[in-house]
């Protein structure tokens, strides 16, 4: 018997990289390159050399042990250096990040970014410039932290006709909702998130759903091969109370801030809002600051990826992964197809079941008046519950059958105008996921 022995031969090469932005994620990248460069070289044959680091303030860079010759306050020092093949943009925001990315591309340099805002707003321009200049742009860390969702869509699901995506795309809101499930008020849960560093001093971008909306636009672009240039219907979690989460639990649901993307023929349905989902579904078990993306493909069926959606080292790990991916294929250029001209569905025409919480006077005939208005607007009631008794003002919970959003909004507006209604009605959409 003959024995054959195979040996993996890895050709070693050095790739020079530049880093713009030495904040939280940038510092994490420096730490990873410092402690794991040998591991990267062992596994891939690529030796990453951090040649230049740029920031307007270099104290953080110096504290990380970077040498003076590696540091600059002028980003052009990176763009003009012909030996640098890959540029990491980690400053965030729209400008000057957008300008720096475009300068790097025009200088024939590959780009890695974690900047969801720039990709969501300027992605079409960036990807077209990358193709023209024969360079690659990677942005795995822009959505979902260390969840490899971008790579999954571009590689594992490349042959799939994706039908639906549901995403818990913001760790701050998921942390807050988890604490509210445990009995905290929204205000106390937010304060806790801020104390632990999960929420900013001004948390509006997260809690109003804007962060999740940008990420959903990127996922929809990749899934449906269509540039998303329409503002996504977005609602945040600020109007939810802990009682809403308690009532949802009693009804067999959990409330999550979901990004939802659905494709039906030549229309895309895009929305971000608090959503009630069955407690038995995998997304309902995603707690604290974790993120998750649930994908439904024509041939693959349903699948879910989840993990840490933020944090210095998880996000920096993904950034370095993108750098290594490019370094192993320096001759590869970006190819992101956005040729489909799909229509964004009018959000008033979506169909859903609804949870409605009315705060009303406890007197005879109240429920009859509400039911009449709902019925007159083609809305059928599936369940009713009055949560408190022997009080002058009580919450009344109604679960509807599937209805058209336009009809539901019209009915709620009419009900809110009744003198028996004392607070604005809380409306939460229900997705009965399999």
Q: Cα–Cα distance between 314 and 207 in angstroms, integer?
A: 22
Cβ-proximal residues to 10 (8 Å cutoff; 6+ apart), any chain: 44, 45
Q: Cα–Cα distance between 48 and 68 in angstroms, integer?
A: 18
Task: State the Cα angle at 318 between 150 and 86, rounded to 5°.
Answer: 95
Pairing relationship of beta strands 381-386 and 253-264 according to DSSP bridges? unpaired
Which one from 51, 215, 242, 262 is the annotated catalytic residue? Answer: 215
8 Å CB contact between 1 and 16: no
Range list of H helices, 14-92:
24-44, 59-63, 76-79
Q: Is 113 helix (H, G, I), strand (E, B) or coil?
A: strand
DSSP 8-state class, residue 357: E
Residue 40 pairs in a beta bridge with none
134: annotated active-site residue: no
Give the DSSP letter string of 187-233: HHHHHHHHHTTSS-SS-HHHHTTHHHHHHHHHHHHHHHTB---SPPE
What count of other Cβ atoms lies within 10 Å of the Cβ of residue 324? 19
Q: Which residues are catalytic?
A: 215
């Amino acid at each position: 018997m003959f024995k054959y022995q195979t040996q993996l031969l890895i050709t070693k090469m050095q790739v020079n990289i530049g880093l713009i932005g030495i904040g939280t994620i940038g510092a994490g990248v420096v730490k990873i390159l410092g402690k794991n460069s040998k591991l990267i070289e062992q596994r891939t044959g690529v030796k990453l050399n951090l040649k230049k680091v740029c920031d307007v303030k270099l104290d953080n860079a110096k504290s990380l042990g970077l040498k003076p010759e590696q540091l600059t306050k002028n980003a052009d020092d990176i763009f003009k250096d012909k030996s640098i093949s890959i540029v990491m943009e980690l400053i965030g925001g729209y400008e000057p990040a957008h300008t720096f990315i475009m300068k790097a591309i025009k200088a024939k340099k590959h780009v890695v970014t974690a900047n969801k805002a720039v990709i969501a707003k300027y992605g079409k321009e960036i990807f077209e410039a990358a193709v023209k200049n024969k360079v690659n742009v990677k942005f795995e860390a822009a959505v979902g932290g260390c969840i490899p969702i971008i790579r999954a869509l571009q590689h594992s699901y490349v042959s799939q006709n994706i039908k639906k995506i549901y995403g818990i795309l913001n760790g701050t809101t998921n942390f807050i909702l988890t604490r509210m499930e445990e009995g905290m008020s929204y205000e106390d849960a937010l304060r806790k998130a801020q104390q632990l560093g999960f929420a900013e001093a001004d948390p509006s971008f997260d809690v109003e759903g804007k962060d999740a909306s940008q990420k959903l636009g990127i996922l929809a672009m990749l899934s449906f091969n269509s540039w998303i240039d329409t503002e996504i219907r977005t609602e945040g979690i600020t109007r939810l109370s802990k009682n809403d989460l308690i009532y949802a639990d009693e009804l067999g649901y959990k409330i999550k801030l979901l990004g939802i993307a659905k494709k039906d023929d030549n229309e895309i349905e895009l929305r971000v809002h608090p959503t009630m989902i069955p407690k038995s579904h995998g997304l309902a078990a995603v707690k604290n600051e974790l993120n998750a993306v649930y994908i439904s493909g024509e041939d693959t069926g349903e699948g879910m990826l989840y993990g840490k959606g933020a944090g210095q080292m998880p996000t920096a790990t993904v950034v370095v992964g993108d750098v290594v991916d490019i370094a192993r294929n320096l001759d590869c250029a970006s190819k992101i197809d956005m040729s489909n001209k799909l229509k964004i569905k009018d959000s008033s025409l979506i169909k859903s079941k609804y949870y409605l919480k009315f705060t009303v006077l406890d007197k005879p005939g109240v429920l009859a008046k509400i039911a009449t208005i709902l019925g007159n607007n083609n809305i059928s009631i599936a369940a009713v519950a009055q949560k408190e008794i022997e009080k002058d003002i009580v919450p009344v919970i109604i679960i509807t059958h599937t209805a058209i959003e336009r009809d539901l909004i019209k009915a709620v507006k009419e009900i809110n105008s009744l003198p028996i209604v004392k607070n604005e009605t809380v409306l939460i959409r229900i997705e009965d996921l399999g």
